Amino acid sequence: MNIKIVDHPLIKHKLTIMRRVDTGPKEFRELLKEITLLIGYEATRHIKLFETEIETPLEKTKGYFFNDKDVVIVPILRAGLGMSDGILQLLPNASVGHIGIYRDPESLQPVEYYAKLPKLNDSSLIFVLDPMLATGVSSAKAIEILKENNGKNIILVTLISSPEGVEFINKQHPEVIIYTASLDRKLNKKGYILPGLGDAGDRLFRTK
């Protein structure tokens, strides 16, 4: 499986609080941002570094920098929005594109209703953000849209993944690396992740 589980005590602790049914939206939003930042620390290992020469107060030395203007963050609406700030804190000059996809509750198929992307080129490093990788159809569709728009280097960042979703993404887009905080047990009949944390969008925006 092409998946990297970012295994860290801080993430485990914060995710445990997020999962709890009695955790409210304020804490849920803050924790999602914090965990995204921590996953982002690992996921941004793929950023290209450029060498430079700098001067310290004592001597000249080699230094490194990256160009985060090449980075594109693409939250999948709407729950992905809860992850944007965490990545933007690390990469403040990144561009942000948005893709709106909802899952038809009957067919579980993805329906695209919005896409606004910056211009993508061969140097673009694209982070697709979707907290719950459930069936994987929404993320796979978003990746497909990005590829149609010249997206090449794509990384999927999720909070919780299901084995079914990982398998689907691996099959549809084998080159895409998935970063996640947890690989949960399975999906239920309605496409929710078990044990999961419920509907991430509803919990972020208090819509239920």
Helix, strand, or coil (residue 91)? coil
The residue among 10 and 194 lying less far from ligand URA, judged by its C-beta, is: 194
Q: How far is CA 71 from CA 155, 163, 171, 189, 208, in A?
A: 11, 28, 25, 37, 34
Residue 47: how many other CB atoms lie within 10 Å: 14
Whole-angstrom Cα distance, residue 148 to residue 145? 5
Q: How far is CA 13 from CA 17, 18, 19, 87, 131, in A?
A: 7, 9, 10, 20, 17
CB of 132 to ligand URA, least distance (A): 4
The residue among 14 and 203 lying less far from ligand URA, judged by its C-beta, is: 203
Q: Is residue 130 annotated as involved in ligand binding?
A: yes
74-113 residues in contact with ligand URA (CB under 6 A) are 79
Total number of residues shown for the chain: 208
Q: Is residue 138 annotated as involved in ligand binding?
A: yes
Closest of 178, 157, 159, 158 to residue 167, by C-alpha: 178
Q: Is residue 193 annotated as involved in ligand binding?
A: yes
Q: Is 117 in the site for ligand URA (CB under 6 A)?
A: no
Q: Is residue 136 annotated as involved in ligand binding?
A: yes
The residue among 110 and 201 lying less far from ligand URA, judged by its C-beta, is: 201
Q: Is 200 in the site for ligand URA (CB under 6 A)?
A: yes
CB of 98 to ligand URA, least distance (A): 17
CB of 192 to ligand URA, least distance (A): 4
CB of 46 to ligand URA, least distance (A): 26
What DSSP state is assigned to residue 184?
A: -
Part in contact with ligand URA (CB under 6 A); list of ranges 28-36, 48-56, 86-94, 189-197: 189-197
Residues at the site binding ligand URA, with contacts judged by CB under 6 A: 79, 132, 134, 191-193, 196, 199-201
